[in-house]
A = this chain, B = another copy of it.
Amino acid sequence: MNAWLRQLTWRIPEDLSSPADVARYELNRALPGVSISLNQDDNLGDGYSVQRVSSGWQISGGKNGLLYGAYALILKALSGEAVPDDFASAPYYPLRMINCWDNMDGTIERGYSGRSLFFENGCFDYDPARMRELARLLASCGLNVLCINNVNVHEPAQRLLEDLLPEAAALAAIFRPFGIRLMFSVDFSRPLKHGVPTADPFDPAVRAWWRDTAARVYSAIPDLAGFLVKADSEGRPGPFSYGRNHADGANMLAEAVKPFGGWIVWRCFVYNCRQDWRDTKTDRPKAAWEHYAFLDGQFSDNVILQVKYGPFDFQVREPLSPLLLGMNHTNLAMELQLAQEYTGHQIDLFTMIPMWRELFSDLPANRIMSLAAVSNLGRDDNYTGHPLAAVNLYTYGLLAWDPSVDAEKAVTEWARLTYGFAAADEKKLTGLLLSSRRIYEKYTAPLGLCWMVNPHDHYGPNPSGYEYDLWGTYHKADRNAVGIDRTSAGTGYLDQYPPEFRQKYEDPETCPDLYLLFFHRLPYSFRMKDGRTMIQRIYDDHFEGYAETQSLAETLSALPFPEPDRAVILRRAEMQLHDAKEWCDIVNTFFHRLSGVEDAHGRTIYP
């Protein structure tokens, strides 16, 4: 067993059929000789309460709540803390979702932890014991929905709803005792492959096809969470092909799954990915709002719009998507990404919870009803490629349970469970994890500018990699200035926000430094609040980012990680150090060539 459950050395038998069974089994093994009674109270749902009683412990909870309570008790006991006599908890979000981007050929889109968890060569291919370990890992941090296939539904994943359904049902049965419901990404155009001449959501034959399909799927997997849909995005089919809007498309599918209590999770990642770089009117961050905001209130009550946290695409720093602030009559989920697509490919250290907490500090209460995260899991022994990347999975679970979770506390908890270091080392480890995002940000694209990565791959520096491409991600750096003016004087993107956000960002003099180049086009000579010029701030951040990476690598190498983690961690730290140097030097050279401004401290910027 890996990650934060490495103290749970026993395997889970295959014959446990309910969360209570699993709870009982795990408690017996983790706390041998301790008497624990389980008291199912369906009113508690996923919540639980745990009391010390004379004979030992009593756990009350709904069907799944019993298991969450059991893991809470076990983890508290294993972490070596004093266990309180009485504690209780209930999740903030009912759906706490992981989206796997696993393809049936065995690859994972944007996966950095090995091959697919579930598939190989177009077939299901997994070790059931390993699946139970994975289920335990997810349940232990409170996650309860697992979408098993890529939102880009490549053949033959469409067949999950068809001849592969019995095998999918067998997988669902493995996860069920852990309180985890599967979900499938579906292909909006699929009726066309089954003799229906259209996929138009208004066509009765299409509606009938989806109703029949849903009935068939739910008869095999009655607790399926629902369907996840990426439509009219980056080449995927969708309702636009038939002159319908996304509410038309989503509601048609929602009608099909509604009788079975299913959800339609509809991704809002729609933009023009064939943009002309010469077109300065179109501004990609504006796209989601333009496609969805006017539909507020028109979605069925079992549709959830799944919105990426920022308006671009999982960048290191983006403002909260305006869509998450402006659709008050629509079910919303915020989408995070554990897979480090733009944040270092699980080579560079990047602990996300400080970023997530910032997002939540901007998000008014009750604005979203669910959280989703793109998986960072794969077939690697350690699940997440980099052993320290597991912190993102664990803390994501905690965040989805309670978005007000304290970042430092969550990371410390993970570190303690995973490595059980002495206090000083634990503090060093949590300190560097908590600082890792800001370090990465310092040596990559400056001050909210985003992108500057190698195209396609999205790893490593390439300041102009996307500059003349079709993706709508431009910085337009020239010899005088850099950035896109997104205020009302510019592309008008900022106008999509409520007044308090507009006020926060609109004036470069008061806009927070780290968002400056997200919202503004500024001359290199622009004075930051601390008096430095913007170009000097760029140089300083990059030199600091690299220096901090050096000290991060030293700290890592001094910590007593066990093998095999240690070897992986040190090798990746070495790669990060090399790549941070590339980033630092390339970004500094790029801006130096443009601006001609020398570093005020005479450090080396290469010609």
Binding site for B on A (CB under 8 A): 277-278, 280, 461-464, 467-468, 476-480, 582, 585-586, 589, 592-596, 606-607
Contact = CB atoms under 8 A, between A and B. Distances in A.
Cβ-closest 8 pairs across A and B: A478-B593, A479-B479, A278-B606, A464-B464, A468-B586, A479-B596, A479-B594, A476-B607
A2 B217 CA distance: 56
Given A278-B606, A468-B589, A476-B593, 6 more contacts: A462-B468, A477-B593, A478-B594, A479-B593, A593-B594, A594-B594
A596 B278 CA distance: 17
26 contacts: A277-B586, A277-B606, A278-B585, A278-B606, A280-B607, A461-B468, A463-B464, A463-B468, A464-B464, A464-B467, A468-B582, A468-B586, A468-B589, A476-B593, A478-B592, A478-B593, A478-B594, A478-B596, A478-B607, A479-B479, A479-B593, A479-B594, A479-B595, A479-B596, A480-B596, A594-B594
Contacts of A463: 464, 468
Nearest to A462: B468
Question: How many identical subunits does the complex contain?
Answer: 2
Which of A462, A582, A596 has the most C-beta atoms of chain B within 10 angstroms of its own C-beta? A462
Contacts of A594: 478-479, 593-594
A166 to B, nearest CB: 34
Nearest to A582: B468
A593 B479 CA distance: 6
Nearest to A456: B456
Nearest to A469: B462
A462 B454 CA distance: 13
Contacts of A478: 592-594, 596, 607
Contacts of A589: 468
Contacts of A480: 596
A592 B479 CA distance: 9
A480 B480 CA distance: 13
Nearest to A587: B468
A606 B281 CA distance: 13
A476 B478 CA distance: 15
A518 B74 CA distance: 69
Contacts of A464: 463-464, 467
Nearest to A461: B468
Nearest to A279: B606
A479 to B, nearest CB: 4
Contacts of A582: 468
Nearest to A480: B596
Contacts of A596: 478-480
A42 to B, nearest CB: 58
Contacts of A595: 479
A251 to B, nearest CB: 39
A285 B595 CA distance: 29
A558 to B, nearest CB: 29
A594 B464 CA distance: 13
Contacts of A280: 607
